[in-house]
Amino acid sequence: MVKSVFTVRGFNFAGNGQNSGIAFIEFFDFADRKETSKKVQALALRAFEDFKKIKDATIIPIVPPSILELGNSSGFDIFLQDQAGLGHEVLMQARDKFLQLASQDPKLALVRPNGLNDEPQYEILIDEERARAQQVSLAEINQTMSVAWGSAYVNDFIDRGRVKKVFIQGVSSSRISPEDFNKWFVRSNSGEMVPFSAVASGRWIYGSPKLERFNGVSSVEIVGQPAPGFSTGEALASVERIMHEMPPGIGLAYTGLSYEEGEAGSQTTVLFLLSALIVFLCLAALYESWSVPVAVMMVVPLGIIGAVAATMLRGISADVFFQVGLLTTMGLAAKNAILIVEFAKELRDKHGKTTVDAAIEAARLRLRPIIMTSIAFLFGVLPMALANGPSSGSQHSIGTGVVGGMLTATFLAIFFVPLFYVLVVDGIKGKKKPSANREE
């Protein structure tokens, strides 16, 4: 199942450090691992069960996000922000409290900070008064520290036809411990070499190894994923609930897929209502009647019921791909209803049949076209519901919803569409037989 593993020392998505690392896993082709137990999610779950037995390290298997460049992993991605300037210590306490509450929530899993914990640091304190007395500028002090303990680019030179860069840096034996600061000198404005210890001192502190900010506010990043059987929407709802227990001044900000999901989720209801309204108005303009669109639109919930049921039976979350399939199901369900209602309206208005007789006759006449077109569409979408390979997850969400919606919209519509037509037409116009060639 695993073809190769490529490891990197000193770096991971949480930050750089001697105790950090990352491994990239390459799988065999999809054709060689069709079983569910060989999927990336199954491997990540088994790996986590083994990794959590290791006490000397924290190892988290990460599944890449479904949309690249929107985060480093699947699940949710948030930032706890110090919006009131409470300080780093309070922010870290809020982070620890959030992680504790998240570990107790059954809807959340693998909730962890995407950063490095606070660690011992050596802080350099520059005495500006002593520096001025020694005629040493702050710029000279900063440059000396940068060159000695870091590095500095000087220039380029040509070596055997190739351009190479020149960097300068202090030798390793002179930049290991705090006492090594006594080995360095700073040039004063008068040209004399002043010991570094004469203008600066140091002390050990405990702080963050990197400056974390989001939208200009001090923050810490937290990532996680929904527990098996729950969707990311339910996980984000749990995150919102946990935030109510955070100290005042600690805020929440979404990023990556979580931000996009929140933006799309807030528009879902409006999108569905607008889609239904457009279909209704198009039908009203086509048939120059209000009763026909109402009868057609009443069958749409039948397709939605099937789509939701099929998705739940397969354990697929209601993601954006499922919503695309749901919109498709709405249109297909309306199509089947139109085939029956259109014939029923013609039989009632032009042939003088009663509403009930017209509805039953239309359902009988259009049964075969509805079954044939629906089955043809089902077999066209079925490969998506059974897909295996790249992007199969999104195909499952779309295909499963459409297949389930089409099954209920087809077999239930045959019985319910005539009923809806009779209820709407007789309820609006009264139970009377129309005259022949009568137009609505």
- Domain ranges, ordered by start, for the chain: 1-63, 68-118+209-254, 119-207, 262-429
Architecture of domain 119-207: 2-Layer Sandwich (3.30)
Cα(20)–Cα(254) distance, rounded to whole angstroms? 25
Q: Which carries the bigger pLDDT value, residue 265 or residue 94?
A: 94
DSSP bridge pairs for 254: 78
Nearest of 20, 38, 27, 33 to residue 5 by alpha carbon: 27
Highest mean pLDDT among 151-155, 284-288, 294-298, 362-366: 151-155
Q: Which CATH number fits the domain 68-118+209-254, given the four candidates 3.30.70.1440, 3.30.200.20, 3.20.20.70, 3.40.1190.20?
A: 3.30.70.1440
Q: Model confidence over 186-221: pLDDT tens digits?
A: 998 888 899 988 888 889 888 887 778 888 889 998
Q: Model confidence over 255-298: pLDDT tens digits?
A: 877 777 776 666 777 878 888 888 888 888 877 777 778 888 88
Q: Model confidence over 11-57: pLDDT tens digits?
A: 877 777 777 888 888 888 877 777 777 778 788 888 888 888 888 88
Q: Which carries the bigger pLDDT value, residue 391 or residue 377?
A: 377
Spelled out in words, what is the top-level CATH class assigned to the domain 262-429?
mainly alpha
- pLDDT band per the 50, 70, 90 thresholds, residue 332: confident
pLDDT, residue 67, reads 64
121: which 2 tokens? 């640091």
pLDDT, residue 163, reads 92
DSSP-derived secondary structure letter, 208: -
pTM for this entry: 0.64
Mean of all residue pLDDT scores within the chain = 83
End-to-end CA separation in angstroms for the chain: 66
Mean pLDDT within 322-347: 82
The reply to whether 1-63 and 68-118+209-254 are identical in fold is: yes
pLDDT, residue 234, reads 81
pLDDT, residue 193, reads 92
pLDDT, residue 66, reads 66
pLDDT, residue 378, reads 86
Spelled out in words, what is the top-level CATH class assigned to the domain 1-63?
alpha beta
Angle, helices 367-385/413-429, rounded to nearest 10 degrees:
130
DSSP string for 242-277:
HHTTSPTTEEEEE-HHHHHHHHHHHHHHHHHHHHHH
Cα(60)–Cα(52) distance, rounded to whole angstroms? 8
Q: Which carries the bigger pLDDT value, residue 332 or residue 71?
A: 332
- pLDDT band per the 50, 70, 90 thresholds, residue 438: very low
pLDDT, residue 439, reads 43
